[in-house]
Amino acid sequence: MSREDRPAGDGYDGSAMSRDSDLLERDDSVLVVVDLQPGFLVAIDEAARAVAAEAAARATWLVGVASVLGVPVVVTEEDPARNGPTDRTALERAGPAVPVLEKRVFGLADQPDILASAEATGRRTAVLVGTETDVCVAQSALGLLGRGFRVAVVTDATFSPGEMHAHGLHRMRQAGVLEVHAKGVYYEWVRTLAEARRFEAANPDLAEPPGFSL
């Protein structure tokens, strides 16, 4: 749904930048999908595998939400020959116009073509999902932060095995990265009841997200 299709008077203009709050603005956001590949979603035990699968499902769901709301998506992929391709559903939801950028460094901001892709969106709030929380997600978050982006990490749509997930979040928190969760990102992007109802009615495949309800 484009902004032009939204009825007037629903109380929220996505282009109005609320810089006096920590809320995410969808018209300033770019969703960065970091290495959502099967090689990084392996885990030692069954419980951890379930956590990994749910994090990947939430990341993929947010890709769909972003695409519908006009939030640009940047996708990176590390050593696909070893780690496998990016999640197919995520790519389908991103759409054919979104390229998969092969990442040769841990922090994407250190690779000029990927940084240029993020900067070309014109958005200055990077919302990160993917793997691994303590390595590529953390280094990418800190690198983007150092290059003037406001950075938010989606804590339940990122993954590292065991305690490494918490370590990665702690590292980012210390540096000033915002911590958000998938449901919260959705509601900060839509902002009003009217917008949420329209979204759910128009996108039944996204109206029932993995692991929580809207």
What is the distance between the alpha carbons of residues 105 and 74, in angstroms, rounded to a whole number?
16
pLDDT in tens, 17-38: 445 578 999 999 999 999 999 9
The reported pTM is 0.90
Residues whose CB is less than 8 angstroms from the CB of residue 170 and which lie 6 or more positions away in sequence, other chains included: none
Which structural domain range is residue 127 located in? 34-202
User: Which amino acid belongs to residue 67?
Assistant: S
pLDDT of residue 19: 54
Closest among 121, 132, 25 to 78, alpha carbons compared:
132
Report how many domains make up the chain.
1
pLDDT of residue 133: 98
What is the distance between the alpha carbons of residues 112 and 204, in angstroms, rounded to a whole number?
38
Least confident of 3-17, 53-67, 147-161: 3-17
Judged against a pLDDT cut of 50, whether residue 9 lies above it is answered with no
pLDDT of residue 46: 84
Q: What are phi and psi of 152, to 5 degrees?
A: -125, 135
- Residue 128, token pair as written in the block: 């990160």
- Domain membership of residue 60 (yes or no) is yes
Task: Say how many C-beta atoms besides its own lie within 10 A of residue 197's C-beta.
Answer: 13
- Domain membership of residue 6 (yes or no) is no
What is the distance between the alpha carbons of residues 202 and 109, in angstroms, rounded to a whole number?
35
pLDDT in tens, 83-117: 999 999 999 999 999 999 999 999 999 999 999 99
- Residue 149, token pair as written in the block: 């982006």
pLDDT of residue 16: 44
- Domain membership of residue 28 (yes or no) is no
- Domain membership of residue 51 (yes or no) is yes
pLDDT classification of 42: cutoffs 50, 70, 90: confident
Query: What's the whole-number average pLDDT of the chain?
Result: 92
- Domain membership of residue 27 (yes or no) is no
- Domain membership of residue 214 (yes or no) is no
pLDDT of residue 190: 97
- Domain membership of residue 174 (yes or no) is yes
Residue 76's CATH number? 3.40.50.850
